[in-house]
Amino acid sequence: MNMDTEPPRVGAALQALRASRGLSLDDLSKRAGVSKSMLSQIERNQANPTVAVVWRLANALGVEMGELLGGERAATPAIETVPAHATPGLTSPDGLCKLRILGPIELAGQFEWYELSVQAGGLLDSHAHEPGSREHLSVLTGSLEVTAQGVTSRLKAGETARYAVDGPHAIRNVGKSAATALLVVLHP
């Protein structure tokens, strides 16, 4: 029987699992009931968690304890389901636009997609992305107005706009009711 003299280091596994779910240290801290400082120390291999802490972290991340302890990685499921409450989101400064981040964290900066909800009067004003970037906006309900490269176009439900976003651009709801859309960003 081979006995290791050191306990398993769970830092890298914890960090990778947390990142793959788009969770901040604060998010995981709240879900697992483990302090942010303890999580940070575990991820940097400066602390080894107790069995109770590993159990709480595994439950919060939806994995088996062995996956955190460096054992055999669980088989990748044929279908990975992300619950609605685990889908990260952003809100515009005016509070009238909400983006749900639908794409996996590992594709950020390459290919991103969002569910966009814009209340009447809402504005999503964006700075330039890197040269060659494009957005594809498909309106599902309501209507939205897109401005890019000094040109403005109004879209109604069922229509898609494709436009360069290497300059300032904006999406606005000038209608009287809420609008929803899918927004895809392609980076070069």
Q: Where are the domains of the chain?
A: 11-68, 87-186
Fold matches, 11-68 and 87-186: no
114 in Cβ contact with 130 (< 8 Å): no
For 101, other C-beta atoms within 10 Å of its C-beta total 16
pLDDT tens, residue by residue, 39-98:
888 888 888 788 788 888 888 888 887 777 765 444 567 888 888 888 888 899 889 999
CATH superfamily, with its number, for domain 11-68: lambda repressor-like DNA-binding domains (1.10.260.40)
Q: Looking at the domain covering 87-186, what would its CATH class be?
A: mainly beta
**What is the value of pTM for the model shown?**
0.60
For residue 172, the tally of other CB atoms under 10 A from its CB is: 20
Q: Which helix (H) or strand (E) holds 89?
A: strand 89-91
Q: Phi/psi of residue 122, each to 5°?
A: -75, 150
Residue 175's contacts (CB-CB under 8 Å, 6 or more residues apart) are: 120, 142, 143, 144
Which carries the bigger pLDDT value, residue 108 or residue 156? Answer: 156
Question: What is the tens place of the pLDDT at every residue in 86-133?
Answer: 888 889 988 999 999 898 877 777 889 999 999 999 999 999 999 999
| Lowest-pLDDT choice from 13-22, 86-95, 127-136, 175-184 | 13-22
